[in-house]
Structure 1
Amino acid sequence: MNVWLPTSPCTPQGCAGHHGAVAGRARAAVRLTAGLAVVACGVLLAPLAALLGRLLGAAVRHRLTRWWSRAVLRAFGVRVRVVGVPHGLRGALVVANHISWLDIPLIAAVLPGRMLAKSEVRSWPVLGPLAARGGTLFVERDRLRTLPATVAAMAGALRDGARVVVFPEGSTWCGRERGRFRPAAFQAALDAGVAVQPVRITFSPTGAAAFVGDDPLLVSLWRVATAGRLTAEIRLLPPILPGSRPDRRSLALAAQFAVASDRANRPSLSVHQCVSSRPAAASSVRTPS
């Protein structure tokens, strides 16, 4: 593993699992089938959505993205709670903590934009073509020399008025603890002179949604489908306006503090204290810094 890649101590054995109501196998099978069917429809209809977006404008494309994303979450039985309202920013870097593959449709259901993802996602079955057609920006995380070009592409998209969505922790954490925000992506916001929109994601119960370590995607899909009363909350925090921070490191720190600020009202327990006493045998590496 490249020593420069972000990691987390979370593992499927220690952090993922059911800690509440569980749906029956028949209901879970229906959810899984419905969820995969909605995703497949998204792949098939993505070219049409892109064409409509070019002909009728970004607002139409965003409306279709929100509809599809909500349909994915509903099919998997995930309830969504939105706290706060979008600030109507033209071109903004949306940054959020990262827990699950569910984070992607969750953010897209509220703040659709161009995602930043690791280059490996492009080759994933079904999801890879969908990501590419949806305007995803890809970064080769193990080749640092490509990072300036990726930042430049992000800045260009931001200048054109697009939202760019980034998970700056660079890997998934189970939600009970969070990682530090890597500063690289924040340079794009500085270069483009746009605001940063921090977003806080939480799931209840936490373990069912967590997609960490070497957790296979199909196992995670089934765990989500079998979860009872799984609720996702997305909290839109006050934006950090252009010019309020002098450099990318202070900007990343400000966004990280905003996303983690609710921890002041909760006990500070480590992942391993509250879930498992097993040592972390694998690292979680899902998305780029």
Structure 2
Amino acid sequence: MSRFLRYCYRAPLLLLHIVIGLPLILVLMGAWAARFHIGGERLDHWVAGAWSRILLRIFGLRTRRFGTPLPGAVLFVANHISWIDIIVLHSQCWMGFVAKAEIERWPLVGGVVTRAGTIYHHRGSNDSLHGVMHQMLQRLQAGLPVAVFPEGRTHSGEAVGVFHARIFQPAVLAGVPAQPVALRFGRRGEAQTVMAFGARESFVGNLLRVLGEPAREVEVHFLEPVPPSEDGRRKMADLCRRRIVEAMTAA
């Protein structure tokens, strides 16, 4: 199927998802929704997952999970390719993300990820970083999961960047494990560079480009957890990165 034909049927579906689905989802993710449950899961958390799965299908993306996400307080640690990473992870289970503050203003995803409990960081601000670390610690101590991208930014997909160890400190202080999560787009990760959010791309530009891409699979590998280390955050960061790299390069 040509890119033009993919646009012809995906664009109207995306428009419906925005015009009708988005306002409905935001209402269902209001503060009141925390009091209700579906299948043992909070209504607002369930809604975030359902909205994410629908959005992925509109973009022609099908998720395939390997392993099991830990329940309760855990620091999920993933490689970072694109804004879609957040949607992919939300489709698997609820987790509160740490993300750059600009995302709050992005169309389509900003409102949903904000309602889903995202902790926003203003880059270059030490005050903001201290606040983020404090919020992460509070959530982990309250038994809630937090997700981070330790590379600090999206990469081209050709390699996994260096993991910043500081972001692991709340897990060390809270005494909770970090679970590495490897995200592979396409068969054996062959679409990593295609799906990557380029440094010179705008959010809308990347969204439109990816909307026309062929349907493909997204592998989500929940890997062996890393316990809080007595040797500190650097050891946790290095071990998480090593496990993700191994999963990314596996046949």
Q: TM-score, normalised by structure 1?
A: 0.77
Provide the aligned C-alpha RMSD in A.
2.1
Please name the residue that 1:64 is paired with. Answer: 47
Among 79, 82, 91, the alignment partner of 1:109 is 91
Distance 1:107 1:138 in 2: 17
State the secondary structure of the residue aligned to 2:80: coil
Residues paired across the two proteins, number = 243
Please name the residue that 2:117 is paired with. Answer: 135
Do the aligned partners of residues 98 and 37 (structure 1) sit closer, same or farther apart at CA in structure 2, a change above 3 Å counting? farther
Cα offset, 1:39, TM superposition: 4.7
Distance 1:120 1:200 in 2: 24
Contact 1:43 1:130 in 2 (8 A): no
Please name the residue that 2:14 is paired with. Answer: 35
1:74-153 map, 5 Å: 74-87=57-70, 89-153=71-135
Do the aligned partners of residues 23 and 188 (structure 1) sit closer, same or farther apart at CA in structure 2, a change above 3 Å counting? farther
Please name the residue that 1:193 is paired with. Answer: 175
Can you list the C-alpha shifts for 1:27-79, whole angstroms capped at 9, x where unaligned? 22321332353255235422322345321255333222221111110011112
Cα offset, 1:126, TM superposition: 4.0
Contact 1:23 1:227 in 2 (8 A): no
Q: TM-score, normalised by structure 2?
A: 0.88
Residue 250 (1) aligns with residue 235 (2): yes
Unaligned runs of 5+ in 2: none
Do the aligned partners of residues 265 and 113 (structure 1) sit closer, same or farther apart at CA in structure 2, a change above 3 Å counting? closer
Contact 1:208 1:223 in 2 (8 A): no
Do the aligned partners of residues 42 and 191 (structure 1) sit closer, same or farther apart at CA in structure 2, a change above 3 Å counting? farther
Contact 2:76 2:181 in 1 (8 A): yes
Can you list the C-alpha shifts for 1:66-118, whole angstroms capped at 9, x where unaligned? 2111111001111211111223x311111100011111110001132111111
Distance 1:143 1:158 in 2: 23
State the secondary structure of the residue aligned to 2:165: coil
Identity of aligned residues (%): 30
State the secondary structure of the residue aligned to 2:218: strand
Q: Residue type of the partner of 1:54?
A: A
State the secondary structure of the residue aligned to 1:185: helix
Cα offset, 1:265, TM superposition: 5.0
Distance 2:167 2:36 in 1: 30
Higher helix share: 2
Unaligned runs of 5+ in 1: 1-21, 267-289
State the secondary structure of the residue aligned to 2:236: helix
Do the aligned partners of residues 265 and 106 (structure 1) sit closer, same or farther apart at CA in structure 2, a change above 3 Å counting? closer
Distance 2:167 2:18 in 1: 28
State the secondary structure of the residue aligned to 2:81: coil
Cα offset, 1:131, TM superposition: 2.6
203-212 vs 54-63, greater mean Cα deviation: 54-63
121-130 vs 195-204, greater mean Cα deviation: 121-130
Q: Residue type of the partner of 2:34?
A: R
Q: Residue type of the partner of 2:167?
A: A
Contact 2:62 2:218 in 1 (8 A): yes
Contact 1:43 1:129 in 2 (8 A): no
Please name the residue that 1:24 is paired with. Answer: 3
State the secondary structure of the residue aligned to 1:198: strand
Contact 2:106 2:203 in 1 (8 A): no
Distance 1:116 1:264 in 2: 26
Cα offset, 1:177, TM superposition: 0.8
Please name the residue that 2:30 is paired with. Answer: 50
Contact 2:66 2:221 in 1 (8 A): yes
